[in-house]
Copies of this chain bind each other. A is one copy, B any other.
Amino acid sequence: MSTVTDHQDIKREKILEASYQRFLHYGYSKTTMNEIAGDLSMSKALLYYYFPDKSQLYIAVMRKLANEFINKLIERVAASTDLLSAFNAQIHTHHEFMVNNYNFFDFFRLNDQNLPAEIWEIIGQIHQTEIDQLAASLVRDIEKGAVKPVDDPAAIVDLILDALHGVRVRSMSHKKTGFPLKEHMEEIYHKRLLLIEIFVKGLGC
């Protein structure tokens, strides 16, 4: 029995990897189930046995990417010596994740406010991990006496994450774009690093 399951798990992993490459290089809308089956020399019927449709496949790849992001974030925040470097690790890991997978996220740009519930759940899990990890870092700095005690560390971290998320590059028209443009990512990254430094150190003398 377990051999069958193992075999299925390996096949499932291969599908996810091939799909990820397709979504990354051609985007969600330009990728077909036919092409993915072709990349794996697999029948379309077998592919559909594993994933009932393209959106379910996309969600499964997104879940895998999110887990990798979460593991990397936990590792890097744990290795940080203080709150500022922990936030820098979050900003850096997030930036890397977005830049490396930019085309993959065309699904987000296409669907904008109509993302499926499973995607919101994954976003929620990432967000909760960020809060947990950074709040733990904040508590460590409070215990060390490096940071003033706060009533609710998780709420403070949540507020700072919102603030970081608010950073954008203004276009001529001051128009808001829902998803940042690729050519703005680097500027946003550097602005976030500046913002978090002000947060931790303050503007005052």
Contacts and interface: CB of A to CB of B under 8 A. Distances in A.
Interface of A: 83, 113, 115, 117, 120, 123-124, 127, 138, 145-148, 150, 156, 158-160, 162-168, 170, 173-176, 178, 191, 194-195, 198-205
A84 B120 CA distance: 36
A168 to B, nearest CB: 6
A151 to B, nearest CB: 10
A120 to B, nearest CB: 5
Chain B CB within 10 Å — which of A163, A170, A174, A175 has the most? A163
Contact of A159 (B158, B167, B176, B201): B167
A11 to B, nearest CB: 32
A43 to B, nearest CB: 37
Contact of A204 (B146, B158, B160): B146
B147 A203 contact: yes
